[in-house]
């Protein structure tokens, strides 16, 4: 395999189910091959030890061994609960891909070198690990100094504390500004995206039209990330708005649920799996982050890679969410 001289090559993570449980994707230009689904741990803090163990067991059984954290989730408690569950289950560290985020502080955002470095030390302590597989900057900081962030990233990489780096909720201009100062390519951009919340798709379908759907709210993120080989990690994958609740079973989304239910019945899967399959059908590198802490729901959603949507069905779901094509 030929690579650039400065590129690092990482072998796919060993899978507890032999690597055959779930489809994989490559994380950015330099990351390893990972499951196409990851578990988001934002809501893990309230779980009892046994509940967290059951959840992680289901994840490992179904091939989901990437876990997304942030230092603000549960005030850090989500990371501690996760670490205890891993220890009690004796999960091998080399079988896990641990990703966390930093940069959000009470009342402001902070991408200073000092804060990034101290945040990672806290994350590593709470997760009880010597390194993070990936660190993402959480929300854009208008006061960001790219060279300062680069110094922090270089120090973290040189020390072995972080292997890969990415961002969250950034538009192309912000990513370019940061990338110009970095010595390593950014591998991921975590963004809100679901059938019910897809402004980056709406914009691409309503070019040069005087309608709300044609407003460029993100700078062309969908195409940009695909061109730059940056993995899009959708969050709130079943949400109808900014933490406004799920659209599954919502009477306001009756038409969408009818189509989801029909396709789910035809394919012997859950409506949630079909909704995630809609995201996976988007070309490029798309890795949905699951937000459920219910082991049975996670088991059902883990079948999303089995969903097969024709182009007609994909658009049918898109339109059923209350949109129209030009």
Tokens matching residue 44: 């893990």
Q: Cα separation of 107 and 320, whole Å?
A: 38
Distance between CA atoms of residues 96 and 106, nearest Å = 30
CB distance 136 to 188 below 8 Å? yes
Two structure tokens written together for 6 = 């400065």
What is residue 13's DSSP assignment?
A: P
User: Which positions are annotated as active-site residues?
Assistant: 73
How far from chain centre, in Å, is Cα 224? 17
Residue 166 backbone dihedrals phi, psi, to 5 degrees: -155, -170
**Rounded CA separation 55/297 (Å):** 10
Phi/psi region, residue 10 (left: phi>0; alpha: psi -120 to 50; beta: rest), is: beta
Phi, psi for 234 (deg, rounded to 5): -65, 135
Contact between 8 and 30 (Cβ < 8 Å): yes
Contact 256, 320 (CB under 8 A): yes
Closest of 278, 286, 275, 277 to residue 247, by C-alpha? 275
Strands 108-109 and 132-138: unpaired
State the Cα–Cα distance between residues 25 and 295, nearest whole angstrom: 23
233 CB-side CA count, 13 A? 32
Which is nearest to 13 in space by CA: 79, 82, 69, 92?
Answer: 92
């Amino acid at each position: 395999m030929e690579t650039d001289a400065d590129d690092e090559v990482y072998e796919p993570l060993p899978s507890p189910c032999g690597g055959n449980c779930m489809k994989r994707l490559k994380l950015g230009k330099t990351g390893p091959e990972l499951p196409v689904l990851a578990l988001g741990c934002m809501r893990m803090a309230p779980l009892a030890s046994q509940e967290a163990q059951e959840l992680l067991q289901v994840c490992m059984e179904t091939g989901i061994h990437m876990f997304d954290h942030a230092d603000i989730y549960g005030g850090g408690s989500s990371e501690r609960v996760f670490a205890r569950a891993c220890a009690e289950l004796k999960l091998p560290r080399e079988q896990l891909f641990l990703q966390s985020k930093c940069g959000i502080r009470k009342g402001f955002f902070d991408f200073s070198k000092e804060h990034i470095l101290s945040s990672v030390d806290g994350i590593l302590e709470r997760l009880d690990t010597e390194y993070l597989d990936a660190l993402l900057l959480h929300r854009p900081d208008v006061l960001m100094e790219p060279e300062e962030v680069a110094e922090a990233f270089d120090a973290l990489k040189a020390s072995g504390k972080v292997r890969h780096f990415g961002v969250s909720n950034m538009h192309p201009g912000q990513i370019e500004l940061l990338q110009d100062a970095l010595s390593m390519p950014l591998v991921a951009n975590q963004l809100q995206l679901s059938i019910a919340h897809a402004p980056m798709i709406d914009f691409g379908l309503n070019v040069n039209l005087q309608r709300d759907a044609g407003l460029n709210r993100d700078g062309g993120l969908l195409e940009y990330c695909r061109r730059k080989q940056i993995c899009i990690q959708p969050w709130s994958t079943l949400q109808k708005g900014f933490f406004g609740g799920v659209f599954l079973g919502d009477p306001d989304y009756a038409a969408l649920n009818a189509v989801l239910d029909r396709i789910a019945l035809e394919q012997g899967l859950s409506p949630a799996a079909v909704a995630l399959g809609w995201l996976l059908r988007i070309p490029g590198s798309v890795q949905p982050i699951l937000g459920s802490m219910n082991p049975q729901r996670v088991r059902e959603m883990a079948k999303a890679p089995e969903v097969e949507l024709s182009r007609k069905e994909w658009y049918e779901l898109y339109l059923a969410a209350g949109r129209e094509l030009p």
